[in-house]
Amino acid sequence: MGQAELFMVAIGLSMDAFAVSLCQGLKMKKLNYNHAVIIAAFFGGFQAAMPLLGWLLGRQFEHYITSFDHWIAFILLAFIGGNMLVEALRGCDCSSAYNDQLDIKELIMLAVATSIDALAIGITLAFLQVLILPAITMIGATTFSLVFVGVALGNRFGVKYKSKAEMAGGLVLIIIGVKILLEHLNIL
Q: Would you state the pLDDT for residue 95? A: 54
Question: pLDDT tens, 55-86?
Answer: 998 888 767 766 776 787 788 778 877 887 88
Highest averaged pLDDT of the listed ranges 105-114, 143-152, 179-188: 143-152
Instruction: Name the least confident of 86-100, 106-120, 129-143, 163-177.
Output: 86-100
Q: Would you state the pLDDT for residue 159? A: 57
Q: Would you state the pLDDT for residue 92? A: 57
Q: pTM for this structure?
A: 0.73
SS (H, E, C) the chain: CCHHHHHHHHHHHHHHHHHHHHHHHHCCCCCCHHHHHHHHHHHHHHHHHHHHHHHHHHHHHHHHHCCCHHHHHHHHHHHHHHHHHHHHHHCCCCCCCCCCCCCHHHHHHHHHHHHHHHHHHHHHHHHCCCCHHHHHHHHHHHHHHHHHHHHHHHHHHCCCCHHHHHHHHHHHHHHHHHHHHHHHCCCC
Highest averaged pLDDT of the listed ranges 43-47, 74-78, 165-169, 179-183: 43-47
Q: Would you state the pLDDT for residue 30? A: 87
Whether residue 161 has pLDDT greater than 80: no
Question: pLDDT tens, 82-111?
Answer: 887 887 788 655 555 566 678 888 888 888
Question: pLDDT tens, 4-63?
Answer: 989 999 998 898 788 888 878 877 888 999 999 999 999 999 999 999 999 998 888 767
